[in-house]
Amino acid sequence: MLGISVFIFSFLVYLLTLAPTVTAEDSGELITASYFLGIPHPPGYPTWCLLSHPLVYIPFGSIAWRVNLSSAFFASCTVFFIFLFLLRITKNKISAFSSSLIFAFSLEFWEQSVITEVYSLNSLFIILCLYLLCLWKDTHKPKYLLWLSLIYGISLGNHYTMFVVGPFLIAFIIFTNPNNLQYIKIYFLCIIIILFSWCLVCSYLYIRSLANPPIDWGNPENLTNLFNLITRKQYSFMLTQYPRSLPRLLRQCVVFFGMGVYQFGSPLLFFLFLLSFLFVFFKHRAWSLLLFFLGFSTGFFAILVQNFNFDIEWLEVMSVFGIPVYLCCSLSFGIMLAWVLDWLISYSKNKYYIYTASLFILLLPFVPLYKNYEVNDYSQFWFAHEFGENILNSLTPNAIYIPYTDHASFPLIYLQKVEGVRKDITIARVHGYLCPELFKKMDRKQWAKYAPFPKGRYESELIGWLIDNTDRPIFSEKKINVITEQKGTWVPAGIIYRYQRENEIVPKSEIYWQKYNWTYIKENNIKGQSASLIWLQIQWAKARDCFRNNDNSTAIELIYNGLKYYGKDDVILNNAGVLCAEHKEYSYAKKFFEEALSINCHNTTVKKNLQKLEKKLSIS
């Protein structure tokens, strides 16, 4: 009964803080994929698409809200199985109750539980595997290993951190099983079940691609495309895009694992979580080693693969990869709390101490609940929806729009494909590359250079071809160097840009600004990195237009207003410097470049920009 109350309590909190519509990052793409049973970005997330899809049939709420609700449901199931896992190991309801809810209201997990993302389902798979492992260890019944194999195989179709989890589960089974030789046939059957279940969910990618859904990333209708999608070939450049060194890796580890300090409402709680591994080692050595190495290895693996930089955007990307770490820490902490209570019951004759300690432990979840509630209350989050709607509604009829960032593309895809907003617009980048359908009229020999999925280095040529071979209005989130046969230039069009062909009359930027309707996007509603990035983009677009109208003082104020909420790092300060330099505000440009270098003195892009600026100033 107490386990059910854990599920209900966490689900009600998630429901109260659930996002009402599409958010930024991958949300719009994933919602659209779930709704149409499509294929989102690599590796395609077939398991998530299949399990989230049934909720789109709920007869109330927007489609986005319904799919957001799937995250809340998966999260509450995770919390429920954390309770069952801890109760099974410790036989202590108080510690199981407290630790499961502490994790439920941890900063990052809570956020991922109220928006459309794959991480609450991934957490559910991790704890399901651990719970089945616990049942097997207690009973040594082979059926639990078979169920574990099935769940694990299905989980591989959700998120690839499960490939890191697998070896630790295997090691735990082998080292805690005194009868390994008698289990050879069972182990062999487990391998078959894992491979079969993984292949079965991956077959979804091929089958659904044949139906050509609106989200059909990588078009996996043949074995080559299917293999490239599953292996994330499109993102293989990430392994080599940044330099690697031991000092850089150590700094990445400190920054990444240091994010845990802010997860549970108090740094002290996180310190106790880490300390719990030492206590648990003496009480449940096998579980302590499994939870420690499983949790921290998933984090370390993410660091190695991503090789992230230290700017704000990268840190936001990396923050979700800490969830398995926090899950394992919560489990270890729950075991330690049970040990503390058992010790008090055994050695304390004063029941007052026992009751006080029990009450204190029961109240612990209210620390992260209170501290993290406002941050994770997305119940009024309309930033991405309103931003996308305004861009779509401001575009000229039958236009082509080329987005470059997640928040300027995925919400628009959802709005157009699911809600039916501005279906006359062609969003040129749905799958991370220019849509091949735009180039059907291109000579096939010429297209062979770019097929099947155009790489970024060819965009200047391809967009130039669109300009030369269509009379459709072409808009872009940013100015792009294009190779064309006719003269033209990019001109501001409100927040974005429009390509003005030679002798073509286009509206002034002010006309697009007049089309925007800002109901929710205001300073007092900014919440989270995505909202602050949208705010910054709007402020800087206004600043660009102020520069063009020779109102430099207002432009500088707008640049700082964007930085006020987004924050400062070397990347964004470099962009601020470039914006100022483009409009001959050289003193501020130099100031921004120098501040960027003070944050990261190794940023070669900033160094080159500062050198160009100083050379220009010396000549003038």
Same domain, 330 and 407: no
Same domain, 496 and 558: no
Percent of the chain past pLDDT 90, that is, above it, reads 83
Place of tokens 């574990």: 148
Q: 179 phi and psi, to 5 degrees?
A: -120, 50
Q: Average pLDDT for residues 447-476, to the nearest whole number? A: 92
User: At residue 124, does pLDDT exceed 70?
Assistant: yes
Same domain, 81 and 29: yes
User: At residue 1, does pLDDT exceed 80?
Assistant: no
pLDDT digits (tens, 9 = 90+) for 3-51: 899 999 999 999 999 999 999 889 999 999 999 999 999 999 999 999 9
Q: 402 phi and psi, to 5 degrees?
A: -115, 100
pLDDT at position 237 is 83
Cα of first residue to Cα of last residue in the chain, in angstroms, is 78
Q: 543, 570 in Cβ contact below 8 A?
A: no
For position 607, which CATH number holds?
1.25.40.10
Question: Rounded CA gap, 475 and 608, in Å?
Answer: 29
pLDDT at position 234 is 87
Same domain, 261 and 227: yes
Same domain, 510 and 531: no
Last residue of a domain, one of 349, 376, 403: 376
User: At residue 505, does pLDDT exceed 70?
Assistant: yes
pLDDT at position 178 is 87
pLDDT digits (tens, 9 = 90+) for 533-580: 999 999 999 999 999 999 999 999 999 999 999 999 999 999 999 999
User: At residue 354, does pLDDT exceed 90?
Assistant: no
How confident is the prediction for the chain on average, in pLDDT? 94
Same domain, 99 and 200: yes
The H-assigned helical ranges of 91-179 are: 93-104, 107-112, 119-139, 142-155, 162-176
Count up the domains in the chain and report the number. Answer: 3
pLDDT at position 152 is 97
Same domain, 340 and 390: no
Number of C-beta neighbours around residue 184 at 10 A: 9
Which helix (H) or strand (E) segment holds residue 393: the answer is helix 383-394
Question: What's the whole-model pTM score?
Answer: 0.94
Same domain, 496 and 575: no
Q: Work out the pLDDT band at 588, boundaries 50, 70, 90.
A: very high
Cα dist from 404 to 150, 427, 429, 465, 530, whole Å: 39, 11, 8, 19, 14
pLDDT at position 608 is 94
pLDDT at position 620 is 64
Last residue of a domain, one of 515, 537, 564: 515
Same domain, 337 and 399: no
User: At residue 350, does pLDDT exceed 80?
Assistant: no
Same domain, 351 and 472: no
Question: By C-alpha distance, which of 515, 482, 519, 512 is closest to 497?
Answer: 512
Last residue of a domain, one of 356, 376, 396: 376
Percent of the chain past pLDDT 70, that is, above it, reads 100
User: At residue 80, does pLDDT exceed 90?
Assistant: yes
Same domain, 287 and 408: no
User: At residue 256, does pLDDT exceed 70?
Assistant: yes
Same domain, 508 and 545: no
pLDDT at position 46 is 97
Cα dist from 582 to 487, 508, 548, 591, 619, whole Å: 21, 19, 10, 14, 17
User: At residue 521, does pLDDT exceed 70?
Assistant: yes
- Domain hosting residue 612, numbered range: 524-619
User: At residue 619, does pLDDT exceed 80?
Assistant: no
Question: Rounded CA gap, 182 and 141, in Å?
Answer: 12
Q: Which of 193-207, 214-228, 339-353, 492-506 is predicted with the least confidence, judged by mean pLDDT? A: 339-353
pLDDT at position 24 is 87
Q: Work out the pLDDT band at 290, boundaries 50, 70, 90.
A: very high
Q: Work out the pLDDT band at 346, boundaries 50, 70, 90.
A: confident
User: At residue 301, does pLDDT exceed 70?
Assistant: yes
pLDDT digits (tens, 9 = 90+) for 204-222: 999 999 999 999 999 999 9
